[in-house]
Amino acid sequence: MKRIGINLSGAPLRMLTALVLAAAASAAASAQQILVVDQERALNESAVGQHIAAQLERIGTEMTSELQPIQAAVRSENEALTTETSAMTEEAIRQRPDLIERFGQLQQDMRNLEAQGRMRQQELAATEQAALQPVVPILQEIMQEVMSERSGVILLDQSVTVMTSGSVDITDVVIERLNARITTTPVNRVRAPQRNANNNNQ
């Protein structure tokens, strides 16, 4: 359940992979510039990004602990059935309705455990997205400011570039300004409706 850093896939920041801003109509073509930013590093190394990552790790640990009783029960029953049937033939097992019922229940419990795990992964992803909501507009504003200051017209994410010069990389500046404007943000667990997990077990 633990998360290291912040994953931008699926986040609102994805739309910034290739942010194109129009320069002033009077700007000379020679003054136009392509800039690059590593958005993932900007978040992971910024104070607010590290705050979000730490809180997500805490919530992930909490989720893992919630599943431990179910995991322990499934493991215990699986080991018990394995021990009880190790010397029995398949035919002998089929003649034992009580064992058949226990095997069926074990399979159901395993499906429930998988569903509970998936639900918590979805909750963690939703929690991350909610935490990023107030950060995204600030990050956008900062990138637009830097572009304007450097007469930039195109801002590309580092992930879509092959090779860049340090002079066009604005990541360090973005991190510095982000730290000056926001260092923490609420990171509250987003819970999925319980009925979703129940439906997965049917």
Domain count, the chain: 1
Query: Region 89-118: what's the mean pLDDT?
Result: 96
| C-alpha span between 194 and 66 (Å, rounded) | 14
pLDDT surpasses 90 at 19:
no
Type of residue numbered 188: N
pLDDT surpasses 70 at 186:
yes
DSSP string, 157-191: EGGG-S---GGGB-HHHHHHHHHHH-S-----PPP
- Give domain status of residue 109, yes or no: yes
pTM (global) more than 0.85: no
Could you give the angle at which helices 47-85 and 135-149 cross, rounded to 10 degrees? Answer: 140
For the chain, the straight-line distance linking the first and the last C-alpha, in angstroms and rounded, comes to 25
| C-alpha span between 118 and 116 (Å, rounded) | 5
Mean pLDDT, the chain, integer? 85
- Give domain status of residue 143, yes or no: yes
- Give domain status of residue 102, yes or no: yes
Range of the domain at 150: 12-200
| C-alpha span between 190 and 194 (Å, rounded) | 12
Type of residue numbered 102: R
| C-alpha span between 87 and 96 (Å, rounded) | 14
- Give domain status of residue 59, yes or no: yes
pLDDT band at 6 (very low <50, low <70, confident <90, very high): low
- Give domain status of residue 83, yes or no: yes
pLDDT surpasses 80 at 16:
no
- Give domain status of residue 2, yes or no: no
| C-alpha span between 136 and 16 (Å, rounded) | 10
- Give domain status of residue 26, yes or no: yes
- Give domain status of residue 110, yes or no: yes
Q: What angle do CA 38, 189, 49 make, to 5 degrees?
A: 20
pLDDT band at 128 (very low <50, low <70, confident <90, very high): very high
Greater confidence, 130 or 24? 130
- For residue 45, give both structure tokens: 């190394």
